[in-house]
Structure formats: structure tokens, C-alpha cells
Amino acid sequence: MRHFLLIALVLLCAAAYLWSQALPSGDAAKGSKKYDQYEKPTVCKSCHLDIYQQWTQAMMSQAYTHHWDEIEYFDLAEAHAEKVPAIRGVIDGCNGCHAPLAFLAGDVPPPRPDKNSRANESVSCEVCHSIKGYAGDPPNDYNYISAPGRTKYGAKPGLKSPHHDTEYLNLFTQTELCGTCHNEKNPFGIWVKSTQMEWKEGPYAKEGVPCMQCHMPKALGKNATMAKEEMVAQHLFHGAHDAGKLASAVELRMHPEEREVKLGETVIIKVQLFSAKPGHKFPTGSVEDRIVWLHVTATDAAGKEYHLPVDKKGFAGEEYTVASDALAYQDMGIPKGIPNFAGVQRDGVPIGDRIFRMPYFDPDGNMTMMQWNTKSLGVDYRLAPRETKIESYTWQLPDEVPAGKVTFKAQLNYQRLVKPVADFLGVPADESEIVPVNLATTWIEVYE
């Protein structure tokens, strides 16, 4: 009898294993489903009103329709695949994360956003709440296993709904769920997105603080109109498109080495940057697009302003972390059909400012923002979670600086998309607006 039970158990496990294997993930899932298998977010809205409204303001509800996504997908990625058919599969893969329903339904490339197809649902309720698991380690490149149907998976056991069944899955409390789309390896084998892996290496993984604690904070409320009041995961997902999330992400302090300086002497200013808020590197995610830079100025007693360039540290690849008027992004010429394209300005921020970034390089060694065309990565000069970096500014007081107080200002700025690229591609201005992260000031007294 015991043996029989044991054999039955083994067979059951084997069957469960085979069944989970039968559900495709990643590229194999393309075209494996039908749109009709997934319900629309407006259906969920009838009971999950608050969560629905929160989600409509999060970027994941616009992952396919957002203007910059449409421009990069159609004007660069699709246009590139038309010229280089070998990358077709990779470009279809954009939809595995940005328009998962279209990808799963095999509707790729999907109709443009203005056609109002179901691709527009982007990363919808059903996309996440149908995820049953993921295949492979680490989670990356849409290797989630989508199992649409009556059962909605979640993080609370034993919930009853008149519309659907619910099932608790540990995955909904874990960062791996997010990692299936927030880690990405491109066809050259380069990690072009690694937010979940950065988290895993950092202090928050050790302390058991998953993505959800910072991006889906819990508050007292109702998760459905007919549910009782309790702590509910708010579907806020604010990130780089939210000025408040960026504000004070990094804390700044600055001081001079000497408070009193003689006319014409040299002053050294130190700035400490402490990455206090992010659970991953800063910037993270679309690192090829993002730019974070520190702008330092001095104002003398006569009110004249001077711009201070950062002191070089001398590490390999540092030239990419100090703003210059170099040209880059030449590979945009391929999809744009511009032979021998000279490129556009690499940085578009004041020359000499420190940039916290990791450059992406195309096969020719030029900096690129086409992540699928990235063959190597440069120096990683971003801020790791809870890391503190120090920048110094050595400044010989110019002759015209009179005796009196000189005040210094350090301003840390963020831009979602490098401005010269945004201007070249006609991306609406909000994507390249300058978002202040933090500010510090200090002073010296200049005497005769």
C-alpha cells in the first residue's frame, strides 16, 4: 500500500512537471495564446476600482502606447528589422514585455497605438495575475509562464471572488516576478537591463525588502468594492516618470577643505552623494536612455557665477562620465536610412559636469541607445543602493573674485532621455525635461 502511494506520488509529480513544461515561456510563447483568453482591465475595474485607477496612472499601463515607446519601437527597432531581417525575432521580442497580450497572441508587430488594438492594454492586470511561474534562472526576457483562465494568482491565500477563483503563489511576494521583464539579455549576450539582478546583489535583498515594498506599498483600504478593509498592495509603480520618486533619491552634502581662503588661492570642494532611496542602481532599467549629472557652480560677492568642472579620478572609461561635446549614437543612421551618420551630441549637459551612467556600445564601439544593438558595456559609474560617492572640485580663484563670501551650489539632475537624442527623434519634450533630484550648498570667505 505504501509503495503504491509512493509510486502514485512520483507519477503525479512527473505529470505536474511535464504540464508546467508544456506551458511555453519566452520566445516559444509567441503566438501560443489568443486575445480572448485574457480579460480586459475594464472588467477588473468593476470590482477592483481603486487598483484599476492606480494602474492607469502607472507607466506599465502605457508600456505600449507611451509616445517614446512608440517612436523607439516603430522608428528605430522596426525600421532596423526591415533593413536587417536577421533581427526580426529580437524586435518581435520587445512586445514580450511591452505588449505581452499581442506577443502571446502572435499579433506582432502590433497595430500602431492609434488603432486601439488590445496591444494597447500593455502590462495589464491579466498579464501579471495570469503568471504561474517562470522558466530559467535568472528571470529575464519575458520568461514568465502565462496561464490565463478562471484562476487569478496573487499574494493572499484563501480569498473568495464571485467573478474568478484565486490562488496564492509565493512568486507574488518575490522579485523574480518583476525580473521576468526587468532583466534583459540582448542577442549579443549583454545584460541591457538588470534591475532585479542589481537588487539581488544589494542590501535590500539581504534585508528581505522586495520591489513591492517600495513600488506597491501597503495601506489600509479595500482591494475590491465588496471586500473587507485590510492592508492592500497599492498598484502605484512610480519610477523615473514620477518627479516625487526621483526627488531626494540621492542625498547631497558639500563642504570646502578650508573655510577661509586668500585672494587668488585654490579651493577644494567635496560633494558626497548618498544613494538613499533606490533599491537598485541609480539610474537603473533603461540605462542607455537615462542621464544623471552633477552641476556645480560658485557665486562670488559681486554676484558673478562660475561653472566648476569635476576633478578627474583617472579610472578607465572615465571620459564617458564627464560631459563633453563628443558625438555619439551614430547607429541611429541605420534605421533612419542616413548613410555615414555623424551622430548627435552624446550628453547635452554642461561640459565638465560629472555624469553617473553606464555607456552602451554598438558593434563599432560608438555609444548607442539602441539596446538591441549593444555589443559591450562601458564603465559602470552609477550609484549602487546605499553607496556614497565623493566628487571633488579644485578651483583656483580667478583674479576677478573679490574679497567676501563665495557660495557654492551643487545640483543633481535627472533626464529620462538624453536631450540631443530626444530632439533628433522628435520625442515630446516631457521625456527630456530636467528633473531635479537634490541640491547642496556651501560657502567660503575670501580675504585679502
Site for ligand HEC in 225-284 (CB under 6 A): 226-227, 232-233, 235, 237, 239-241, 245-246, 249, 277-280, 282-284
Nearest-angstrom CA–CA distance, 368 and 93: 19
**Nearer Cβ to ligand HEC, position 151 or 299?**
151
Binding string, residues 132-151; x marks residues near ligand HEC by CB under 6 A: ---------xx---------
**Nearer Cβ to ligand HEC, position 241 or 253?**
241
The minimum distance between CB 140 and ligand HEC, in angstroms, equals 6
Binding string, residues 173-202; x marks residues near ligand HEC by CB under 6 A: x-x-xx-xxx-x----------xx--x---
Cell numbers placing 139: 528571470
Q: Which residue of 166, 299, 392, 407 would you call a contact of ligand HEC, by CB under 6 A? A: 166
Window of 120-128, 254-262, 334-342, 396-404 that interacts with ligand HEC by CB under 6 A? 120-128
Pairing, β 360-361 against β 354-356: unpaired
Q: Which residue of 110, 256, 285, 348 would you call a contact of ligand HEC, by CB under 6 A? A: 285
**Nearer Cβ to ligand HEC, position 98 or 295?**
98
Cell numbers placing 392: 571633488
Q: Which residue of 112, 164, 253, 409 would you call a contact of ligand HEC, by CB under 6 A? A: 164
Window 311-370: residues binding ligand HEC (CB under 6 A):
none
Window 19-78: residues binding ligand HEC (CB under 6 A):
39, 41, 43-44, 46-48, 51-52, 55, 59-60, 63, 66, 68-69, 72-73, 77
Window of 152-160, 262-270, 344-352, 438-446 that interacts with ligand HEC by CB under 6 A? 152-160
Burial class (CB in 10 A: 0-12, 13-18, 19+), 190: middle
Window 411-440: residues binding ligand HEC (CB under 6 A):
416
Nearest to 55 by CA among 180, 213, 223, 168: 223
Q: Are 430 and 240 in contact (CB under 8 A)?
A: no
Pairing, β 266-275 against β 250-256: antiparallel
Which amino acid is present at 406?
V
**Nearer Cβ to ligand HEC, position 175 or 330?**
175
Nearest-angstrom CA–CA distance, 408 and 410: 7
Backbone angles phi, psi at 156, to 5 degrees: -115, 125
Cell numbers placing 238: 512610480
Separation in Å, CA 52 to CA 118, 143, 360: 17, 25, 36
Residue 105 touching ligand HEC (CB under 6 A): no
Pairing, β 260-262 against β 266-275: unpaired
**One-character DSSP codes across 208-245:** T--HHHHHS-EEEE-SSTTSPPEEEE------TT-HHH
Window of 10-18, 108-116, 206-214, 341-349 that interacts with ligand HEC by CB under 6 A? 206-214
